Amino acid sequence: MLRKIFALSIALLCLGFSETRDKVSLATITIQQHDEVYTLNKFRLTIIDAGADFVKTLVTADEITILRNAGYDVGILIEDYQAYKDEIFQRGFYHTYNQVYSVLDSFVSDYPEICRLDTIGYSVLGRAIWAMRVTDNPQVEENEPEIRLPGNMHGDEHIGTEITLYFLRHLLTNYSSVPQVQNLINSSEIWVLPTINPDGKVANTRRNANNVDLNRDYGFFWDGWGGSPAPSSQIETRSMMQHLEENNISLEYNYHSVAQYVNYPWDYHYADPPDSQYIILLSEIYADSANLTAINGYDWYQTTGCLQDYTIGTSGALAWTIETLEPSSSSAIDQICYDNRDALMDVCNRAGWGVEGVVKDSITNSPIYARIEFMNPDRIDVYTDPNFGDFHKMIEPGTYDLCILANGYAPKIIDSVIVPATGSVSVGDVFLTPDSSYLSAFRVVLCRYAMHAEVNNKTNPRFALGPEDSLWLSLGWSGYVVLDVGPNTPITDGPGDDFVVSEGNDGMDEGYNVYVSNDWSGSWISCGADTGTASFDISATGLSEARYVKIVDDGNTQGTQYAGFDLDALHFWYPAGIEEGSVLGEAIVNILLSPNPSHGQIDIRFQVLETAASRQKTEISVVVYDAAGRKVSDLADDAKEPGHYMVTWNGIDDLGREVPAGVYFVKLTTGDYGRVEKAILLK
């Protein structure tokens, strides 16, 4: 009997996990001006639409009471939103979860030469998340731009499933007869994911089986909205993140249904991304074709933890959220699908427009997982495909300077790359030379800035990548960032400290805590705390190596424009040809750097001994190198008699310029022998 009760309980859970939840209503809140929508964020409401004088939100009875007690005029549009969505689903022709699989399976059977069905993960209740890969060689990885089309992220917004399935059917059935379709499939790789919230689809609920809004769960400027307990906490979210990391996505459209908008980044902040001019142009092209309106996400209403911002913020792919109506009439559904099909054809054919190339190792000729930085003019970085080494940056016509960076390789700058008005320009095979002196933070995984909408703070997580420069990420009070140093170049435990955290110069030293792990989601092991630029040793954690570093503001200092710790860079070592503590030989002993760390001047003391080889003088050189192995300053290069000596470095390079704070290496050489000591320069 107990077995039957248990089985029945599980069945009821799988069929309708929303039964135990509070009834949700669709309500409208009257506001005097649009900016009031941002003050409503303190209530952590599920806002789905906003205008000049109204906000539409999904609310429980308790939330309605709280809003009315706070003085808001709340009107009920739909008393039982779940019942309303159930009726829409039953009246219109919307595929069920099982029907979606049947359609995908039949496509694979009918068109095996141009599509392949993958399962990229599973839901909370164990349902598969399917991804159909459409290309001319679906079993082979090729040098092509990749397009990703997820739908049904909110389980009760079924039009996303229909739009993506409709477009998929259009591609497959017209490949042999329509040149435009054939060219698209032959020149790109298209991922169609009709339902990325399977449990929500089955239960016809917005959220997943853990009652989390998946479009508030992604870890790029996450802030705990939509019931999300931690950044990228849900299994469905992590499946999409892993898919993004493994595939070089250039273009993404995520389908929803509460309005009629082409929603473009950012959602979390009012400041536009560097690519905004081109993003707006593409938004208008899609909107005109699909009978929608282009709108900036933050201008509409603020959202944190959304897929759109995560995709562009961590990978550089251009990403949008498409909002359409969700009618109950089958003919109206077909019209929406038709309009979006044409819009997709217009923009997807541009996925290969811009700059492309392949990054390879100059010795082995093997592909490299690299970051492509657009320096002049500034544009969002993109990454190569981890397996194939190709990159495809959608970018407006113009002339650009590129920098190709990969940990363990010397960077390469490519000047004056001219992007045509249509099509792409290829920089060909870019060969990087192995050089272990170039090691720094490679990719942003997660970030949280508690005051991310503060109007004065326009810093961005990508500012913390690469070497020190004039850009930094302000973490905000108690904010944090998780940095990835790459799958092939973990920080390894060596003699002394292993990495340095560099602070940007905003006029004050601020405190922070440092943690390391080999999993981006933890568990995290403390590596210490400090203020300003400082170095850290992972030996105290018990780890021999670590791939991820989490830097957390200590919450003790406050600022205005640059609140919280200002992270300029994260470096680790050892530089090529400079190994701390290498043997010097018999000629020099008792080397001492003092003070170390120093705020400006370091005295280097050493003793020259009388040796059998030289009773008189010994040739001595003292050279300072930076963390990348580049010579900074020659302090001494002459013959010295036996005795005690001191040379002083005042933080100035050979050209008379003040060097930035960071880790430096002082190398003393005599004959064939040398010794290196690490110096920490603070500002």
Residue 140, SS3 per DSSP: coil
Scored b (16 or more CB within 10 A) or e, 119-138 reads ebbebbbebbbbbbbbbbeb
Position of tokens 């039964």?
19
Overall size of the chain counted in residues: 683
Selected catalytic residue, list 144, 146, 245, 323: 323
Alpha-carbon span 526 to 546, nearest angstrom: 12
Q: How far apart are CA 191 and CA 188, in angstroms?
A: 10
- How far apart CA 219 and CA 566 sit, in angstroms, is 19
The amino acid occupying position 109 is: S
Q: What is the 3-state secondary structure (H, E, C) of 195-210?
A: CCCHHHHHHCCCCCCC
Beta bridge partners of 674: 669
What single letter denotes the amino acid at residue 429? D
Rounded-to-integer distance, Cα 597 and Cα 332, Å: 69
Q: Which of 569, 555, 544 is nearest to 660 (CA)?
A: 569
Q: Which two tokens stand for residue 239?
A: 């499946």
The burial class, CB within 10 Å (0-12 / 13-18 / 19+), for 299 is middle
| Two structure tokens written together for 438 | 């170039």
Identify whether 113 is a catalytic site residue.
Answer: no
Q: 155: which DSSP letter?
A: T
Cα(564)–Cα(552) distance, integer angstroms: 9
Q: Distance between CA 108 and CA 116 in Å, rounded?
A: 6
> Rounded distance, CA 649 to CA 11, Å?
73
**In this structure, what is the dihedral angle of CA atoms 252, 258, 263, 266, given to the nearest 10 degrees?**
-100
- CA 370 to the chain's CA centroid: 14
| Contacts with 79 (C-beta within 8 Å, 6 or more apart), sequence order | 25
- DSSP of 623-660: EEEETTS-EEEEEEEEEE-SEEEEEEE-SB-TTSPBPP
How far apart CA 627 and CA 569 sit, in angstroms, is 12
Is beta strand 74-78 parallel, antiparallel or unpaired with respect to 54-59? Answer: unpaired
- Residue 164: phi and psi, rounded to 5, are -70, -40
Which amino acid is present at 287? Answer: A
Positions annotated as catalytic residues are 323
